Amino acid sequence: MSEPGLIRLAPGRADAAAAEKLRALQILAEATSSLPGDAGVEEWLGRFLATMIRLTDAAAGAVRVVAEDGRQLRLVASAGLPAEVAAREKLMPLDCGACGVAVREAAVNPAASALACATHTSQSWFAGFGGMIVVPLTHHGSVLGVYNLFLRAPRLIPGEVVLLYRSIGEHLGMALENARLARENLRMTVMNERQMMANEVHDSLAQTMAYMKMRLALLLDALRADERERALKYASDLQDGLGEAYADLRELLAQFRSRMDPLGLVHALQGIAAGFEDRTGVALTIDNRLPELDLTVDEEANVFHIVQEALANVARHSGARRARVVMEERAGEYAFSVEDDGNGFFALGSRAGATGEPRELRHHLGVNIMRERAQRLAGRIEIANLPQGGARVGLAFPVAAAERPGGS
Ligand X SMILES: Nc1ncnc2c1ncn2[C@@H]1O[C@H](COP(=O)(O)OP(=O)(O)OP(=O)(O)O)[C@@H](O)[C@H]1O
- Interface ranges with ligand X (CB under 6 A): 203, 313-314, 316-318, 340, 342-346, 361, 364-367, 391
Cβ 265 to ligand X shortest distance, Å: 21
Closest CA to 176 of 138, 211, 119: 138
β-strand 322-330 against 283-288: which pairing, if any?
parallel
Which of Mg ion, ligand X, none interacts with 391 (beta carbon under 5 to 8 A by kind)?
A: ligand X
Query: Rounded distance, CA 297 to CA 189, Å?
Result: 12
Q: Which amino acid is at 99?
A: C
Nearest-approach distance from CB 239 to ligand X, in angstroms: 22
Q: Partners of 293 in the beta sheet?
A: none
Q: How many helices (H) and strands (E) does the chain have?
A: 12, 11
User: CB–CB of 191/158 below 8 Å?
Assistant: no
Does residue 257 contact residue 200 with C-beta atoms inside 8 Å? no
Question: In this complex, which beta carbon is closest to ligand X, that of residue 118 or of residue 206?
Answer: 206
In the bound state with Mg ion, the residue whose beta carbon lies nearer, of 78 and 313, is 313
User: Quick one: 392 or 404, whose CB is closer to ligand X?
Assistant: 392
For Mg ion, the binding residues (CB under 5 A) are: 313, 366
Residues 6+ apart with CB under 8 A from 292: none
Cβ 385 to ligand X shortest distance, Å: 8
Report yes or no: 350 and 362 within 8 Å, Cβ to Cβ: no
Euclidean distance between CA atoms 121 and 115, whole angstroms: 10
Give the pairing of strands 72-79 and 60-66. Answer: antiparallel
Residue 271 interacts, among ligand X, Mg ion, none and using kind-specific CB cut-offs from 5 to 8 Å, with none
Nearest distance, CB of residue 104 and Mg ion, angstroms:
56
Task: Give 234 or 345: the residue with its C-beta nearer to Mg ion.
Answer: 345
Among ligand X, Mg ion, none, what does residue 90 contact (CB within 5–8 Å per kind)?
none
Residue with Cβ nearer ligand X (89 or 341): 341
Closest residue to Mg ion using C-beta atoms: 366
Please report which residue ranges of 138-288 form alpha helices under DSSP H. 159-201, 207-224, 228-257, 265-273, 276-280
Question: Are 130 and 165 contacting, i.e. CB atoms less than 8 angstroms apart?
Answer: no
Residue 339 CB, nearest distance to ligand X (Å)?
Answer: 9
Distance CA 105, CA 107 (A): 5
CB of 344 to ligand X, least distance (A): 6
Q: In whole angstroms, how close is the CB of 281 to ligand X at the nearest point?
A: 14
Q: How far is the CB of 298 from ligand X (least distance, A)?
A: 22
**Taking CB within 5 to 8 Å according to partner kind, which of Mg ion, ligand X, none is near residue 362?**
none
Partner that binds at residue 289, options Mg ion, ligand X, none, CB closer than 5 to 8 Å by kind: none
Q: Which partner in ligand X, Mg ion, none is near 346 (CB below 5 to 8 A by kind)?
A: ligand X
d(CA 244, CA 361): 23
Which CB, 276 or 345, lies closer to ligand X? Answer: 345
Whole-angstrom distance, CA of residue 174 vs CA of residue 180: 10
* Closer to ligand X by Cβ: residue 165 or 304: 304
Whichever of 64 and 371 has its CB closer to Mg ion, that residue is: 371
Q: 285-317 as b/e, with b when 16 or more CB fall inside 10 Å?
A: ebeeebeebebeebbbbbbbbbbbbbbbbbbee
